[in-house]
Chains A and B, each alone.
Chain A
Amino acid sequence: MKGFKPSAPFLLLLPAIIVLAAVVVVPLILSLYSSFTPFRLTKPETFFVFVGFRNYVSILSNADFWWAFGRTVLLLTIALNLEMLLGLGLAMLVEKATRGQRLLRTLMMFPMMFSPILVGFQFKFMFNDNIGLVNNALQSLGITQDAIPWLIEGHLAFIAISIAEIWSSTAIFAILILAGLLAMPKEPIEAARVDGCTPWQTFRYVTWPFVMPFAYIAMTIRSLDVARAYDIVKIMTDGGPAGRTELLWTLVARTAYSDGRMGMANAMAYFSILLSIAFTVYFFNKLAAARTQIGAEW
């Protein structure tokens, strides 16, 4: 190595690379290997038996896995789209406020401070069929006589989980889109109005293109962290009733720690990792494109 002088940015990035390699990359290589073995926690010797793609084949032919996979994608699609729409709406509501905007902004960030596990607990409490706020309110208002089994019936549980998920993450979109709205110069909007644009046209062709990069930043941040839904589901229903709210992540945890089938779980985990990476790369590219579109340096 004599005469080799590492560049400054390399040296500065070295600690980050070492830590990430040690805690993320190497373990992931290990788990990739073990996804090709019938490794069970109770039988350590199975770690060295190589079975090729048998785990993957049995996963792909497993209906439970596909249900969980489909449900995860469905939840993410519903949640991300609604979060985006609601966040946009909320940001525009707050932006319009003439007084107390600072207070409103703080209130708006409120759900961001809740850890997913707390969000899960809070909605488990509110959706409790017997003593929950939701059922109590519905019954007191006379809308329904019966206790609605929110977390006990499959579809309702899925809806309850989606609501919890949306409640907790809309704030990220709202706060970033609001930052975009506040940073936006006012002249183009006025010019559009003078030129006779309807409010909708002004929004569609002036405001939205400007705010879009901010929405993509929010999407990218959010997609880094999609798996936080695991915490919410874990505490709200733990995949039940009868596996009707089982997501990819809860299925991985169950296969690994309850059934002890590590090899199988690692193979499943790789699907969840690929799903996350796909989401992130997609939005990251969109973000980069949006940035170049408004002429920013990357």
Chain B
Amino acid sequence: MSNQVLSCENVTASYGAIQALHGVNLEVNQGEIVVVLGANGAGKTTTLRAICNMVATEGTVMLNGSDISKADTADIVNAGVAHVPQGRGTFAALTVLENLEVGAYTRTDDEVQSDIEMWFEKYPVLGERRTQAAGSLSGGEQQMLAVARAAMSRPTMMLLDEPSLGLAPLIIEDLFQTFAQLNKEQGTSMLLVEQNANLALEIADRGYLLETGEITGSGSAEELRNDPAVQAAYLGA
């Protein structure tokens, strides 16, 4: 497919002797939000880490037509991938402002400041605390910061690792709106890993089911929502 942004072909990953992924195949097209649903330990986080080459992997990962399976993580980020890791991964010792500045590390244009102001408008609480250490923020504020920081690199592809984890429902709602907005306004493609299947399928175009390191199903968001097996396993129906 010509408008394919990201694809994984037969990707395996292991931590030492333990194999976490057994040949994952998935793809994300230009402008799509794709969700990966799976239980704890299914390999969702590992899939995202494999794309960024942060775990020992085999197989092929393609980004915008070039093979990035052996590329250095920093080069993958330079090529347009932004990863919001599980547990936020903000720089606790740096200020809110510095977190956003370092998020734009790969950029050389002169619109970094205006992008930062844009995020401070979107999340005023971050603007108020711009000189505070990120470690002093609440969990929800840190997740906002993590997403804003990832968006600061103006990525073409965003990897989101369980952004709803441990957050209050209202904050989750707001975050997912931000994802949909980024996707719509900037055309950012997204690969979203979630346990909160209801919400994820609301904003997603398509989805995959991941079980014990293998893709066991896929379909449009509509199809997945109506699939009795998915309903039983992930939607609590």
B is bound to A: no
| A interface residue numbers (CB < 8 A to B) | none
Residues of B at under 8 Å CB distance from A? none
